[in-house]
Amino acid sequence: MSGRLLLPAILVLALAAPACSQAPTASPEKKPEAKSPAVPAPVAAAARGAEQGTAPRINGARAMQYVREVVGMGPRPVGSPGHRKLEAYLRARLKGDNVEVDEFVATTPVGKLTMRNYIARYPGTKDGVIVIAAHYDTLYSMKDFVGANDAGSGTGLLLELAHHLRGGKREGPSVWLVWLDGEEALQKWSATDSLYGSRHLAEKWQKDGTTKKIKAFLLLDLVGDADLNIDRDSNSTPALLDVIQQAATRLGHQSHFFRREIAVEDDHRPFAAAGVPVADLIDFDYGYGNAFWHTPEDTLDKVSPRSLEIVGNVVLESVRVLGQ
Ligand code: 1BN
Ligand code: ZN
């Protein structure tokens, strides 16, 4: 299976949009989100402007160490020894936290497979939930693919974020960290062969009423590239992207955010379809012309602690603002 087949699905809308632009570039291919509600008041209010404050600081070296340990497990496609090792590692790292293992059986082109999402819940003082998610499975059927950036970076950064969330109630809404399984296609990316974990969880949360409580769903994917350029995803909720852009600007990291607009199909989509405000923080420019993406070149030397730190701090600052 070649990830390059997916490239035509990506529409690069604006190659040189100014990083500080507040107005997203209009996308001719952007389809209206049928079930998207009006932007929730807290998201819109946060986008209009937030009070200054000091966000807790991410430890980039520690985040990188998590990524290193995850990548050291080797390839981690669904059903592999590396995937099992990683699941045991996540359980161990999250020991003592309030963790739900969301197990389900997915029907895939290679048969029925058991998959598991991991949800760690950290309570806040206010109503509502902010979800921060990343997928932890790696590309299926590519020998020697260790996925340092895809999906090691998001997996490790979520573990670092857990440090800042655990240990008592925080001001603001609850934050849930979600490690999603089965993001990658098992044969060829399609609506039914991809996003297994997120499709399952969004459906479950819609059925049990959880989606109504979610103020924001922030997805971290490919966030470790040493040459960090987070794209502005036109399939994300514009007001939430504005919150993130303002947070990045407040922290002085605006040059790494939203220079280019693209439309991304990723784990945020099932939640968007369920009416949740979503943002995909993804750097889909991994190596010259995205040359490292879905190749054995996706190795640890391309990932930097500084990039993890930048994205982590912008996420924490966005969470703070969304909680006001
Ligand atoms: C992200 C990482 N994705 C797969 N591995 C989803 C994706 C597919 C993102 C196509 C952009 C384009
Ligand atoms: Zn991938």
In this structure, is residue 11 part of a structural domain?
no
In this structure, is residue 237 part of a structural domain?
yes
Q: How far is ligand 2, taken at its centre, from the CA of residue 71, in Å? A: 14
CATH code at position 184: 3.40.630.10
Q: What count of other Cβ atoms lies within 10 Å of the Cβ of residue 173?
A: 22
Give the tokens for residue 172. Answer: 């603001």
Structural domain range at position 120: 17-23+32-322
Instruction: Output the residue whose Cα is nearest ligand 1's atom 12.
Output: 264
Task: Please list every protein residue whose CB sits less than 6 Å from any atom of ligand 1.
Answer: 6, 9-10, 150, 184, 221, 264-266, 284
The predicted model scores a pTM of 0.86
In this structure, is residue 285 part of a structural domain?
yes
Half-sphere exposure of 312 (CA within 13 A, CB side): 30
Q: Catalytic: 183?
A: yes
Whether 160 shows a pLDDT value over 60: the answer reads yes
pLDDT digits (tens, 9 = 90+) for 109-159: 999 999 999 999 999 999 999 999 999 999 998 999 999 999 999 999 999
Q: Catalytic: 221?
A: yes
Q: Which residue has the higher pLDDT, 11 or 89?
A: 89
Instruction: Output the residue whose Cα is nearest ligand 1's atom 6.
Output: 266
In this structure, is residue 215 part of a structural domain?
yes
pLDDT digits (tens, 9 = 90+) for 91-112: 999 999 999 999 999 999 999 9
What gap in Å lies between CA 297 and CA 118, rounded to an integer? 28
In this structure, is residue 10 part of a structural domain?
no
* Model pLDDT, residue 141: 87
In this structure, is residue 38 part of a structural domain?
yes
pLDDT digits (tens, 9 = 90+) for 169-215: 899 999 999 999 999 999 999 999 999 999 999 999 999 999 999 99
Q: How far is ligand 2, taken at its centre, from the CA of residue 122, in Å? A: 28
Q: Which residue has the higher pLDDT, 164 or 29?
A: 164
In this structure, is residue 9 part of a structural domain?
no
How many separate domains does the chain show? 1
Q: How far is ligand 2, taken at its centre, from the CA of residue 241, in Å? A: 22
Tell me the three-class secondary structure of the chain, residue by residue.
CCHHHHHHHCCEEECCCCCCCCCCCCCCCCCCCCCCCCCCHHHHHHHHCCCCCCCCCCCHHHHHHHHHHHHCCCCCCCCCHHHHHHHHHHHHHCCCCEEEEEEEEEEECCEEEEEEEEEEEECEEEEEEEEEEEECCCCCCCCCCCCHHHHHHHHHHHHHHHHHHCCCCEEEEEEEEEEECCCCCCCCCCCCCCCHHHHHHHHHHHHCCHHHHEEEEEEEECCCECCCCEEEECCCCHHHHHHHHHHHHHCCCHHHEEEEEECCCCCCHHHHHCCCCEEEEECCCCCHHHCCCCCCCCCHHHECHHHHHHHHHHHHHHHHHHCC
Q: How confident is the model at residue 54 (pLDDT cuts 50, 70, 90)?
A: low
Q: How many residues does the chain have?
A: 324
In this structure, is residue 165 part of a structural domain?
yes
Instruction: Tell me which of 102, 137, 183, 267 is the catalytic residue.
Output: 183
State the average pLDDT over residues 24-40.
35
